[in-house]
Amino acid sequence: MKHEEALHRLKNVEGHIRGIQRMLEEDKYCIDVIRQIHAAQAALNKVSTMILEGHLNSCLITAVRGDDPDDRERVLQEIIDVFEAATKV
Rounded CA separation 17/27 (Å):
15
Whichever domain contains 70, its CATH number is 1.20.58.1000
pLDDT tens digit sequence for 24-76? 999 999 999 999 999 999 999 999 999 999 999 998 899 989 999 999 999 99
Query: How many structural domains are present in the chain?
Result: 1
0.85 exceeded by pTM: no
Domain residues for the domain of 50 are 3-87
pLDDT tens digit sequence for 17-36? 999 999 999 999 999 999 99
